[in-house]
Amino acid sequence: MALGVQIEKEGIAVSVVAETRPTLLLFLRNEEAPRLCVPFPEDARFGKVYSLRLGFRELREAGFRGAALKSAEYQFEAGGQRFADPYGKSFSGHDSFGKPLKEETAKRSPLFLSEFSWEEEGAPKVNPRERVIYRLHVRGFTAEKSSGVIQRGTFDGIAEKIPYLRSLGVTTLELLPAEEFEELPFGAERVNYWGYGKTFHFAPKASYCRKRQRDPAGELRSLVKALHAAGMELVMEFYFDGSERVDYVLEVLRYYRSFYHLDGARLSGSFPLRDILRDPYLKGFLLFAEERPAESGESFYCCDRAFQREMRRFLKGDEGLVPAVLSYSRREPDTPPRVNYLAHTDGFTLADLVSYERKHNEANGEGNRDGSNENFSWNCGVEGKTKRRQILACRAQQRRNAFLLLFLSQGTPLFLAGDEFGNSQDGNNNAYCQDNAVSWLDWKQATKEAESVDFVRALIAFRRAHPALGRQTPPLFLDVDAVGRPDVSYHGERPWKAETEPFRRQLGILYSGHYAKSENGEADNSLFCIYNMHWEAHSFSLPYPEKGTAWHLAIRSFGEVPHCLEVGAEEVLADQSSFLLPGRSIVVLIAKPLPAETKTKRTKKRQGDSNGR
């Protein structure tokens, strides 16, 4: 018999693990005293697992009939102590986030979950090359009034933001732990805002639901249904502390896949990854973890922090990083796909990464001793907030550089909610206990930083439009079709030779459009991505584009707006042989055919030059 409560044809079956003989307590909603107390029979015990069955007739005789039965709740008692069902599928009470728990408090679970119709819902088919992950905290995403949603800080609040997320180009949402964790257990001095700790994994968090109608299971399913209708995926983070049995972990993941139609799971803490990857019920289920296993399936992604560390260092101009940047421009053979990010939950937001050189965690109450001291950040000349235009312009350019490093690298890009409009945590790089404006997104920033949001939106669209970016197979670095250039090539300030000496901070990567086909077999445009993280300008000699084409400027991180030009609006370079790239800048050049009249003028000019000689 499965642990927890199972609804059967004639009644309910209940199983629970207990050290001493337990009692099932049944309540009517909002009543303090139980209406029915049923001890578990000793003769139905197997090891430490106690089981019992109750028929609907018995329940009706105890007053649980009709609406009362549908709203019945339960918990257990053993040794004089009440406790919640570890396998409870939902919980009532403690619906306000951050509300202190009393020592004797135990959560209660409803016997029945609300009915739900999936209708014609189906899982979206996201092309792995086009997957873009947006990581958010359910409460912090819309808790602020400026979010403009009706159901702030809830699963429904996320659903209200789907039009924004879809317009941004996001394909996949990744939620921080949203199962029923104890955000302020008895005796705790600080709120557990992030959700890493003791968790009732089978139940979505009740305080992440609308206040007047607490239905965590129904609200989470509604969010999944709405996201799928918009062609988007939902991944939830599951934290395990290592005390859970293998079968428990597997059952949790299977349950969320089958009952909630979840698309994947981000695994954190301590968990049996090998068993998870081998579980037949989880084949095709997206799985994300920092660990890199010896064996992995097609749906496993490695969340390697090395990208964050090395790209942050390159962004601020450290030496010796060119080889690392080159390695992230390709997928290595026989390795699982990689998730890349520059900012994550623990650490600076992207805006703080370019505004602070030191952590500022005083508000956490730990004397600024908590949080990492290795942030690899640069404040552009001033620590923290400033009104100096030159500093603000530098920070905006560095944020654009960061997004370009992320989206031009091979791997699945992930960015934090709010990074697209410069969300700040005032230098706090460990806001685990900040259930306030420090962690909540200020959506007024999205209006103030509209150009930044537009840049990220256009950058995502550009990546999606060009198969050369985000390719799923390792490059060969060969010209197997004899078209005049290899599929991928590395360059320095002079073409065809990467300069990787420790003092170098500049490089170029050429992606041949011929070797980057779209799904319909059409060749992509060739792209030349040039990076200069030195604080001085450098002149790059350009490799020749394909015959009949010329280099056009498509994206730039420097200068005035626009920074990511629309398709058809790319600017042809007047000088096709070299490009002077300002300090701390990145550009993307695209090889496009010239208009016929431009070709004629260039032909006449070449003929005139020849006659003159």
Closest by CA position to 202, among listed 222, 181, 172: 181
Q: What is the pLDDT of residue 605?
A: 44
pTM above 0.75, yes or no: yes
Average pLDDT, the chain: 92
Express each pLDDT in 219-235 by its tens digit. Answer: 999 999 999 999 999 99
Q: What is the pLDDT of residue 102?
A: 60
> How far apart are the C-alpha atoms of 510 and 492, rounded to whole Å?
11
What is the enclosing helix (H) or strand (E) of 531?
A: strand 527-532
Q: What is the pLDDT of residue 613?
A: 33
Strand segments (E) across 84-227: 109-110, 133-136, 172-175, 179-181, 199-204
> How far apart are the C-alpha atoms of 233 and 231, rounded to whole Å?
7
Express each pLDDT in 189-200 by its tens digit. Answer: 899 999 999 999
Neighbours of 124 (CB within 10 A): 15
Q: Tokens 């994300």 identify what position?
A: 288
Q: Residue 299 half-sphere exposure, CB side, CA atoms within 13 Å?
A: 18
Express each pLDDT in 509-559 by its tens digit. Answer: 999 999 998 888 899 999 999 999 999 999 999 999 999 999 999 999 999
Asked if residue 562 has a cis previous peptide bond (ω within 30° of 0), the answer is yes
**End-to-end alpha carbon distance in the chain:** 93
Of 162-171, 473-482, 525-534, give the lowest mean pLDDT range. Answer: 473-482
Q: What is the pLDDT of residue 568?
A: 87
Closest by CA position to 238, among listed 210, 188, 200: 200
Higher-confidence position of 344 and 184: 344
Model confidence at 611: pLDDT above 50 = no
Exposure string of 28-40, with b = 16+ CB inside 10 Å and e = fewer, is beeeeebbbebeb
Model confidence at 454: pLDDT above 50 = yes
Model confidence at 104: pLDDT above 60 = no
- Indicate the pLDDT class of residue 101, thresholds 50, 70 and 90: low
Neighbours of 439 (CB within 10 A): 22
Closest by CA position to 237, among listed 205, 213, 209, 214: 205
Express each pLDDT in 353-362 by its tens digit. Answer: 999 999 999 9
Express each pLDDT in 560-599 by its tens digit. Answer: 888 999 888 999 999 999 999 999 999 999 999 987 655 5
> How far apart are the C-alpha atoms of 550 and 593, rounded to whole Å?
6
Instruction: Name the percent of the chain in helix, strand, coil, to the closest 5.
Output: 25, 20, 50
Strand segments (E) across 327-484: 339-340, 412-416
And the tokens for 22?
């337990």
Neighbours of 254 (CB within 10 A): 14
What is the enclosing helix (H) or strand (E) of 12?
A: strand 11-17
Contact 92, 214 (CB under 8 A): yes
Q: What is the pLDDT of residue 473?
A: 86
Percentage, residues of the chain above pLDDT 70: 95
What residues contact residue 86 under an 8 Å CB cut-off, 6+ apart? Answer: 3, 4, 17, 200
Give me the amino acid identity at 195: G
> How far apart are the C-alpha atoms of 219 and 208, rounded to whole Å?
9
Express each pLDDT in 377-417 by its tens digit. Answer: 999 999 999 999 999 999 999 999 999 999 999 999 999 99
Give the total residue count for the chain.
613
SS3 of residue 51 by DSSP:
strand
Q: What is the pLDDT of residue 503?
A: 96
- Indicate the pLDDT class of residue 276, thresholds 50, 70 and 90: very high
